[in-house]
Amino acid sequence: MYQKALEQVVAEGGKILVEGGVLTGEGYESGCYVKPAIAEAENHFAIVQHETFAPVLYLLKYTGDVHDAIAIQNGVAQGLSSAIIGSGMAFDYLFFKQMMSSVFAIGGFDKEIELKMLKQGIKIEYLEQAYVYDEKVQEAEVFGNQRRRWLSAQFHYFRVGFLDSVKDLFLKGNVDYFDKAFQFIQPPRALLLGGTGLLAMVFPALDYMLNHELTFSLKWIVLFALVCFSLIISVPKQFWNFKTLGALAGLPKGIYVMLLSLLKIKGANKTFIHTKHTTTYPENKV
C-alpha cells in the first residue's frame, strides 16, 4: 500500500519531494519497514482522501485567506487529524534544542537566538511566499505591555551585542551580525512614523510663526512622506481592505501607547510579561 500510494501521487500529477522506500537488509526481510516520504499533492488525490497507514506526509498549496486552508484540510474523507503549520521561525529540531540550552532570556529570546546564529555565521533564509497569521492584541493595555517587553529586549540586546558585533565586523568581516545588532537601536516603525509625522508638522508651524523659509521643514515633510510610502508598499495588495483602513485610524492611539511603553521599559526584559489574547473565531475550529 505504501509503495502504491507514492506511485499514485506521481500518476495523479503530484511530486515526490523526499523519496521514501522500503528498507532492506538484515532485520528488514519482512518488507514491512519503510522510510518516511514527503509528497506535494492536491486535495482530491487518493493519498489525501484515504489513509495509507504509512509515514507519508503530503503538502497542499493554497492561495487566499486562511479560511481557505482550513476548508482544504477539513475536506478529507478519512477523518484523521492534519495540521496547518505556520510560524515566524522554522528550525531543525536538534539545532533549536541545542541553541535554546544556552539561552537564558525571559523576554526576547528570539532576539538572542538571532544574534547567536549570526555571530556563528549561520544564514537565516527569508521565505517570501510564507505568510504568518498571528493574532494581534486588541486592548490598549495589553498592547502597551507587549511593546514594553519588546522595546526593553531590543535595547538590552543592543547593549549586549553591539560592541561585540563591531569587533567581529572588523576582525572577521561579519556584516550580518553587525547589521542585526545595529538594528536594535533603530526605533520601531510606529515610533518612526509618529516621530517624523510630528516633526513634519512642528517645523513648518514654527517656520510660519517665525517667518522663516520652509526649506528645512520641507525635508521633514519629504522624509515623513517617504516613511509612509515605504510602509504602504510593504503591505501586499490583497491585505488592503476596509479593515485595514479601520486599523490605520487607530494608529495615533497605537503610537501614543508605544511612546508610553518606551518610558517604562526599565527591567521589562527581566520579568515575564504575559500577553493576553482575546480574539477567537469559533467558526474556524478544526
Q: Identity (one letter) of the amino acid at 149?
A: R
pLDDT digits (tens, 9 = 90+) for 102-159: 877 666 677 888 888 888 888 777 666 766 666 666 665 666 666 777 777 788 888 8
Residues 197 and 251 in one domain: yes
Together in a domain, 106 and 63: no
Same domain, 257 and 117: yes
> Can you say whether the dihedral through the CA atoms of 142, 143, 144, 146 is positive or negative?
positive
In this structure, are strands 15-18 and 37-41 parallel, antiparallel, or unpaired?
antiparallel
What's the chain's average pLDDT?
77
The tally of domains found in the chain comes to 2
Asked, for residue 162, whether it belongs to a domain, the answer is yes
- Give the model's pLDDT for residue 68: 66
- Predicted confidence (pLDDT) per residue in 13-40, tens digit: 888 888 888 888 888 888 778 888 888 8
How many CA atoms within 13 Å lie on the side-chain side of 159? Answer: 6
Span 241-284, pLDDT tens digits:
888 888 788 888 878 877 777 777 666 556 555 556 555 444 44
Cα–Cα dist 84/208, whole Å: 57
pLDDT for 80: 44
The verdict on 145 and 27 lying in the same domain is: no
- Given a contact cutoff of 8 angstroms between Cβ atoms, the answer to whether 257 and 144 are in contact is yes
Are 251 and 167 within one domain? yes
Measured from the Cβ of residue 50, the count of other Cβ atoms closer than 10 Å reads 14
pLDDT at residue number 268: 56
Q: Cell numbers at residue 188, please?
A: 520601531
Residue count (the chain): 286
What's the grid cell of residue 131? 505568510
Residue 82 has a pLDDT of: 42
* CATH at 34: 3.40.309.10
- Do both 140 and 246 map to the same domain? yes
25 and 100 housed in the same domain: no
Do 37 and 161 reside in the same domain of the chain? no
Measured distance CA(40)–CA(183) in Å, rounded: 38
| Sole residue written with cell 526593553 | 152
CA distances from 18 to 23, 128, 136 (A): 15, 22, 36
> What domain range includes position 114?
93-279
> In this structure, are 117 and 254 located in the same domain?
yes
Assess whether 166 and 53 both reside in one domain. no
Mark whether 47 and 166 lie in a shared domain: no
